[in-house]
Amino acid sequence: MTELAIYDMDRTITRTGTYTPFLIHAALRLAPWRLLLVPFVPLAMLTYVAGIIDRKRLKEVNQRLLLGGGVSPAKLAPVTASFADAVMRTNIHPGALRQIAEDRAAGRRLVLATASYRLYVSAIAERLGFDDVIATGTMHGLDDRILPKVDGENCYGPAKLRMIEAWLGTQQLARGDVRVRFYSDHVSDGCVLDWADAPFAVNASAKLRVMAGQKGWPLLDWGV
C-alpha cells in the first residue's frame, strides 16, 4: 500500500494566496510599467463575481495584464526562484512545516495539489520537499514562451479531483492501492476531502468548518 499525503497550497500551507502576489512580483522585475495595470485586476475579479467569466478565464486575463502576451522561461526562472524564497521566508504556516516533516518521516509520498500555476508552484514545492506537483498548467508558444492561456483544466474544485486521479494513472497507481491523506482550507476541495481516506480541514474557512462538522473531519490549525 502506497501512502500519499496530498496538500492544497494557498491558505493551507501558506498564510495568504500566492497568485496575484506572484504576478505583481513578476511584473515589478520584468516590466515595472505593468504595475500601472494593477487597478484592472479587481475589475477582472468583479466580472468573475458577476458570472461573466469563470476562474480559468480570470487567471488568463490577470496574467496577460501583468506578464503580457508571452514571457520566456529563461527570464521567468529567476523571478519564480526569488518569489519562492520570499514565500518561504514570510508566508508559510509553521504547523504546515511540522506536518510535512511528519508525513515525510512516516514514509508518505508528498504531493502538492493546487489551483495555482505550476510555473511558480514547482519552485515552492521543491523548497518544501514535495515529491510531486499537480497544478494549473500554462500553454507555451513559439520559442517556448509562456502564454497567458491555461493548459487544460484549472486545478480547482471537481477539476482538482480529476487531475489527481489522472496523475495516479500516470504513476500507475490504482485507487485501491493507495491510502490518501488530504489537507485543505477551503470548501471547494470538498469532493477531494470526501474522496480521501484521511481528510483534514486545515485553517478552515467558515463554510468548510461547517462541512467538516457535518462530515466528522478533523479540524487543524497550522497558524501556530
Note the pLDDT tens digit of each residue in 127-147: 999 999 999 999 988 788 999
Note the pLDDT tens digit of each residue in 165-205: 999 999 999 999 999 999 999 999 999 999 999 999 999 99
Q: For position 154, what pLDDT does the model report?
A: 94
Length of the chain in terms of residues written? 224
Range with the poorest average pLDDT among 54-58, 83-87, 151-155, 179-183: 54-58
Q: For position 166, what pLDDT does the model report?
A: 97
Angle (CA) 88 91 97, round 5°: 65
Q: For position 105, what pLDDT does the model report?
A: 97
Q: For position 44, what pLDDT does the model report?
A: 86
The CATH number of the domain holding residue 163 is: 3.40.50.1000
Note the pLDDT tens digit of each residue in 62-87: 999 999 888 999 999 999 999 999 99
Residue 132 φ then ψ, to 5°: -145, 155
Residue 15 burial by CB count (10 A; 0-12/13-18/19+): exposed, middle or buried? middle
Q: For position 43, what pLDDT does the model report?
A: 87
pLDDT above 70 covers what percent of the chain?
100
The pTM for the full model equals 0.94
* pLDDT tier at 48, thresholds 50, 70, 90: confident
Q: For position 142, what pLDDT does the model report?
A: 77
Check pLDDT > 90 for residue 18. yes
Angle (CA) 67 68 73, round 5°: 60
Provide the domain limits for residue 158.
2-220
CA–CA dist 173, 161 (Å, integer)? 15
- Report the chain's mean pLDDT, rounded to a whole number: 94
Check pLDDT > 90 for residue 114. yes
Residue given cell 479531483 in the structure block: 161
Q: For position 53, what pLDDT does the model report?
A: 85
* Count: domains in the chain: 1
Q: For position 84, what pLDDT does the model report?
A: 98
Q: Average pLDDT in the 103-122 region?
A: 97
pLDDT above 90 covers what percent of the chain?
83
Q: For position 171, what pLDDT does the model report?
A: 95
